[in-house]
């Protein structure tokens, strides 16, 4: 057994507190990773507080993990001790359904195994996430991380990065397209960087006027304040694609109105309540609305390699583990520029 230090929550209304547990000894296909940095995703907060229902405690959140391999099982082919490695939102899947065989393990028919707040495929071992000093994961679900990039700023790519990269690629974002990114948080700022890098005309649609200068620095061509009715009217029927990253409950119709003919709103945000969608707002301009969940392992590797080539990383604020509860409160106030990342040295 591998004794591991962590922070965990023991219930929906509890704060995160120090916690220790044992990781399994590596099996033949396992990689042991000493975690250096772990990003703080809004999904961590949703699950820690049981906002989606069904949370399992004690819970060590964290699914934007980067670190160095310390040991590998005897059958491991892809990694060796000393390599940089990353673990994202999933650590296993059935490996035999069509989506799994097509590299879309995130859409596994039996359901993917989450990095935390999930039981492993044996149905009884509780998976624990990256707010911890080490993780043991099957090599097939571990990513290669380039030595070229700033590691603390790479961590958020493992969730915020792939969650925005994947649907923007799927809908074919590129030159000549008008893309609106809704919300400038962890996901939003990565979506904005990717859409700019793919050559689209990109706008930020935000509730925070104070984020305008940052949005322009990140490459936004326009900034639309969603609380300003006149401005929202100006962009009526304007966009080809909207990337909706909002974590809070809201009316979808408000934003659907911004889509032009055949426009698509991609929903990646996961608020707790059902959002309101007016049928007439969908009918106009033959609009559609779709969802997207993270990305498969193959595409996550493709995204990481793309980021290494184009020098794309997250804008991060590094915190020690001990500040996680304050970080959650700031995230709720949309006060993060633009991703908190935990330095796990603080737990050693």
Please, which of residues 139-168 interact with Zn ion by CB under 5 A? 159
DSSP E strands, 80-152: 84-87, 90-92, 113-114, 118-119, 126-127, 134-138, 143-144
Q: Considering the complex, what minimum distance in angstroms separates the CB of residue 257 from Zn ion?
A: 28
Which residue lies nearer to Zn ion by CB, 67 or 269? Answer: 269
93 binds Zn ion (CB under 5 A): yes
Give which of Zn ion, ligand NAP, none residue 250 binds (C-beta under 5 to 8 Å, depending on kind): ligand NAP
Which residue lies nearer to ligand NAP by CB, 31 or 190? Answer: 190
Radius of gyration of the chain (CA): 20
Q: What sign does the CA torsion over 264, 268, 271, 274 have?
A: positive
Which residue lies nearer to Zn ion by CB, 164 or 206? Answer: 164
Q: Considering the complex, what minimum distance in angstroms separates the CB of residue 61 from ligand NAP?
A: 11
Please, which of residues 24-43 interact with Zn ion by CB under 5 A? 41, 43
Give which of Zn ion, ligand NAP, none residue 100 binds (C-beta under 5 to 8 Å, depending on kind): Zn ion
Cβ(256)–Cβ(238) under 8 Å?
A: no
Buried b (16+ CB within 10 A) or exposed e, 191-214: bbbbbbbbebbbbbbbebeebbeb
Binding footprint of ligand NAP on the chain (CB under 6 A): 41-43, 46, 159-160, 163, 183-188, 206-208, 211, 245-248, 250, 268-271, 292-294, 331, 334, 336
Give which of ligand NAP, Zn ion, none residue 290 binds (C-beta under 5 to 8 Å, depending on kind): none
**Among 85-93, 246-254, 264-272, 314-322, the segment contacting Zn ion (CB under 5 A):** 85-93
171 binds Zn ion (CB under 5 A): no
Q: Considering the complex, what minimum distance in angstroms separates the CB of residue 93 from Zn ion?
A: 5
CA trace torsion 282, 108, 88, 203 (10° rounding): -10
Give which of ligand NAP, Zn ion, none residue 161 binds (C-beta under 5 to 8 Å, depending on kind): none
Which residue lies nearer to ligand NAP by CB, 200 or 327? Answer: 327
Please, which of residues 96-135 interact with Zn ion by CB under 5 A? 97, 100, 108
Assigned token pair, 34: 């000493």
CA distance 301 to 230: 42
Beta-carbon contacts of residue 14 (< 8 Å; ≥ 6 apart): none
Candidates 238, 272, 266; CA nearest to 181 is 266
- Residues forming beta bridges with residue 33, ordered by sequence position: 69, 135
């Amino acid at each position: 057994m591998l004794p591991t230090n962590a922070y965990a929550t023991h219930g929906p209304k509890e704060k995160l507190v120090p916690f220790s547990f044992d990781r399994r000894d590596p099996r033949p296909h396992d990689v042991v990773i000493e975690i250096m940095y772990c990003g703080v995703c809004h999904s961590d907060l949703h699950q820690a507080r049981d906002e989606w229902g069904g949370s399992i405690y004690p819970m060590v959140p964290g699914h934007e993990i980067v670190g160095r391999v310390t040991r590998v099982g005897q059958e491991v082919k892809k990694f060796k001790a000393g390599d940089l490695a990353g673990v994202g939102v999933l650590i296993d899947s059935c490996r035999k359904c069509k989506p799994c065989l097509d590299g879309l393990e995130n859409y596994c028919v039996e359901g993917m195994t989450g990095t935390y707040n999930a039981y492993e495929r044996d149905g009884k071992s509780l998976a624990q996430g990256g707010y911890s000093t080490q993780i043991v994961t099957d090599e097939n679900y571990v990513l290669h991380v380039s030595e070229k990039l700033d590691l603390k700023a790479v961590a958020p790519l493992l969730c915020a990065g792939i969650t925005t990269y994947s649907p923007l690629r799927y809908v074919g974002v590129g030159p000549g397209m008008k893309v609106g990114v809704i919300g400038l948080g962890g996901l939003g700022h990565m979506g904005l960087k990717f859409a700019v890098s793919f050559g689209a005309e990109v706008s930020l649609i935000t509730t925070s006027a104070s984020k305008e200068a940052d949005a322009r620095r990140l490459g936004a061509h326009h900034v639309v304040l969603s609380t300003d009715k006149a401005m929202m009217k100006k962009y009526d029927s304007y966009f080809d694609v909207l990337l909706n990253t909002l974590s809070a409950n809201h009316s979808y119709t408000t934003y659907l109105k911004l889509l032009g003919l055949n426009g698509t709103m991609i929903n990646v945000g996961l608020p707790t309540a059902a959002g309101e969608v007016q049928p007439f707002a969908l009918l106009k301009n033959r609009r559609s609305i779709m969802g997207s969940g993270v990305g498969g392992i193959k595409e996550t590797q493709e995204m990481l390699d793309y980021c290494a080539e184009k020098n794309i990383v997250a804008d991060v604020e590094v915190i020690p583990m001990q500040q996680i509860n304050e970080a959650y409160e700031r995230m709720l106030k949309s006060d993060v520029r633009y991703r908190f990342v935990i330095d796990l040295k603080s737990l050693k």
